[in-house]
């Protein structure tokens, strides 16, 4: 049993050292809060912004509006030797429930499997390419010439809407299926600085339909980039690109907003919000300086001085001219987007029979394409474009 008075330390006179310790702790905490606020504030202030924007287009897809969209109808591969043909058929592009669907389908469903490989002439109805080679093909098993085994669509605003500095937002869900290549991108209205890539290309979003286990970035990764250079062999897209990876899930499972913000001082490409940026480029020097190009190039046995195609443009050249929007789903190709030797790729980029090799493996890759249209299609919910005022 305890006797005597119980000690009550809280009644005793406060210790000055303890009081000082309390003040130091509270002051340090307050300083940390203020410093954190100032860091966030000045960080926010330092983020480049476009300024005032004027809306150019708002598309909610109540119908496939021909006053906005036109189709590129072509089977020539669009420079990447892609394996699909693009059509204006309502089978491959249509509006349903307020959304645009771009749906890849099999050519063999129309002309039969044997015709893909031998003895069939296919002329593409409504072809928009003036080069007849991109409008028709004759299959021949001896030469390896095949009819493009997939049909898809490519829609553009080339004839109607473009921006020179501004903002683009596209809310979309990417498709799933091996070797599908969905893209949201932009090309210049006029090749002011010369043919591709001299006049530039803006890729707001590119992805691969192969699943998350694909070793070269599948549906759990989306990528944004710029392509530019004084000639095809000197494209410097590898200097200006980035990607966003999803740690849980993949981008084919839900809709996301893919955005571009662009003016003469910076280019930002992101997913859903600015914190999820794929690429941020401050234009603090010309693209000619940024490219670190050689002084001379070879042309056969000759050496030719390399010229700056953007010498008469602004520091943002070639990205200082009007660009229009493109939505499409490509399939395969020999540009390297699907690297050789990865994921069971059934063709080689350097092969003269790449498309034929791909077509012969149709049973394998088509089995990975969902039968459900909502999973196999590239679905676009809305498109918005603003011009810098």
Residue 153 belongs to domain with CATH number: 2.60.120.200
Spatial contact of 107 and 85, defined as CB atoms under 8 Å apart: yes
Q: Is residue 26 part of a domain?
A: no
Q: How confident is the model at residue 14 (pLDDT cuts 50, 70, 90)?
A: low
Q: Is residue 286 part of a domain?
A: yes
Spatial contact of 159 and 352, defined as CB atoms under 8 Å apart: no
Rounded distance between C-alpha atoms, residue 114 and residue 238, angstroms: 40
Q: How confident is the model at residue 44 (pLDDT cuts 50, 70, 90)?
A: low
Task: Give this prediction's pTM.
Answer: 0.89
Mean pLDDT score, 107-118: 97
The mean of the pLDDT values for the chain is: 93
Structure confidence at residue 8 (pLDDT): 64
Q: Is residue 30 part of a domain?
A: no
Structure confidence at residue 31 (pLDDT): 82
Structure confidence at residue 7 (pLDDT): 66
Structure confidence at residue 53 (pLDDT): 97
Structure confidence at residue 89 (pLDDT): 98
Q: Is residue 44 part of a domain?
A: no
Q: How confident is the model at residue 199 (pLDDT cuts 50, 70, 90)?
A: very high
Q: Is residue 174 part of a domain?
A: yes
Structure confidence at residue 50 (pLDDT): 87
Task: Name 198's Cβ contacts closer than 8 Å, sequence gap at least 6.
Answer: 191, 228, 229, 230, 231, 309, 318
Element (H, E) at 226: strand 221-227
Q: Measured between alpha carbons, how far apart are the two ends of the chain, in Å?
A: 86
Structure confidence at residue 306 (pLDDT): 95
Structure confidence at residue 154 (pLDDT): 98
Structure confidence at residue 42 (pLDDT): 55
Higher pLDDT, 20 or 247: 247
Spatial contact of 219 and 251, defined as CB atoms under 8 Å apart: yes
Residues of the chain with pLDDT > 70, as a percent, come to 93
pLDDT in tens, 73-93: 999 999 999 999 999 999 999
Rounded distance between C-alpha atoms, residue 175 and residue 331, angstroms: 12
**C-beta atoms surrounding 195 within 10 Å:** 11
Q: Is residue 75 part of a domain?
A: yes
Element (H, E) at 23: helix 16-46
Among the residue ranges 16-20, 51-55, 254-258, the one predicted with the least confidence is 16-20
Q: What is the DSSP string of 145-175?
A: B---SEEE-EEE-TTT-EESSEEEEEEEE--
Task: Name 174's Cβ contacts closer than 8 Å, sequence gap at least 6.
Answer: 182, 205, 207, 209, 219, 222, 251, 252, 378
Q: Are strands 70-71 and 296-299 parallel, antiparallel or unpaired?
A: unpaired
Query: Is 141's pLDDT higher than 60?
Result: yes
**C-beta atoms surrounding 363 within 10 Å:** 8
Domain count, the chain: 1
Q: Is residue 209 part of a domain?
A: yes
User: The domain containing residue 136 runs over which residues?
Assistant: 49-388
Higher pLDDT, 12 or 221: 221
pLDDT in tens, 180-191: 999 999 999 999
Q: How confident is the model at residue 10 (pLDDT cuts 50, 70, 90)?
A: low
Q: What are phi and psi of 18, to 5 degrees?
A: -65, -40
Q: Is residue 10 part of a domain?
A: no
Spatial contact of 269 and 275, defined as CB atoms under 8 Å apart: no
DSSP state of 195: T
């Amino acid at each position: 049993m305890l006797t005597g008075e119980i000690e009550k330390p809280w009644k005793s006179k406060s210790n000055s050292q303890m009081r000082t310790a309390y003040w130091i702790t509270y002051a340090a905490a307050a300083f940390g809060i203020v410093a954190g606020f100032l860091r966030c504030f000045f960080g926010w202030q330092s983020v480049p912004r476009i300024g005032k924007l004027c809306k150019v287009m708002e598309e909610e897809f109540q119908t496939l509006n021909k006053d906005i969209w036109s189709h590129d109808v072509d089977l020539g591969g669009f420079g990447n030797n892609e394996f699909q043909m693009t059509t204006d058929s309502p089978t491959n592009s249509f509006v349903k429930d307020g959304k645009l669907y771009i749906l890849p389908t099999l050519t063999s469903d129309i002309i039969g499997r044997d015709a893909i490989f031998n003895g069939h002439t296919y002329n593409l109805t409504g072809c928009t390419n003036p080069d007849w080679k991109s409008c028709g093909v004759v299959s021949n098993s001896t030469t390896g010439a095949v009819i493009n085994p997939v049909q898809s669509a490519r829609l553009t605003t080339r004839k109607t809407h473009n921006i020179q500095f501004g903002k683009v937002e596209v809310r979309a869900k990417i498709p799933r299926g091996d070797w599908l290549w969905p893209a949201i991108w932009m090309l210049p209205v006029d090749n002011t600085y010369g043919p591709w890539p001299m006049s530039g290309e803006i890729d707001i979003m590119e992805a691969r339909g192969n699943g998350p286990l694909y070793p070269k970035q599948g549906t759990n990764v989306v990528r944004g980039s710029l392509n530019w250079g004084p000639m095809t062999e000197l494209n410097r897209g590898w200097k200006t690109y980035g990607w966003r990876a999803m740690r849980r899930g993949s981008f084919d499972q839900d809709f996301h907003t893919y955005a571009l913000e662009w003016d003469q001082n910076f280019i930002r490409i992101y997913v859903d919000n600015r914190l999820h940026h794929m690429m941020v480029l401050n234009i603090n020097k010309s693209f000619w300086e940024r490219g670190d190009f050689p002084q001379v190039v070879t042309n056969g046995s000759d050496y030719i001085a390399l010229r700056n195609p953007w010498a008469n443009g602004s520091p943002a050249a070639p990205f200082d001219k009007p660009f229009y929007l493109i939505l499409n789903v490509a399939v395969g190709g020999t540009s390297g987007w699907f690297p050789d030797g990865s994921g069971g790729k059934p063709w080689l980029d350097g092969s003269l029979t790449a498309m034929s090799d791909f077509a012969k493996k149709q049973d394998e890759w088509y089995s990975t394409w969902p039968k459900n249209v909502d999973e196999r299609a590239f679905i676009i919910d809305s498109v918005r474009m603003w011009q810098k005022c």
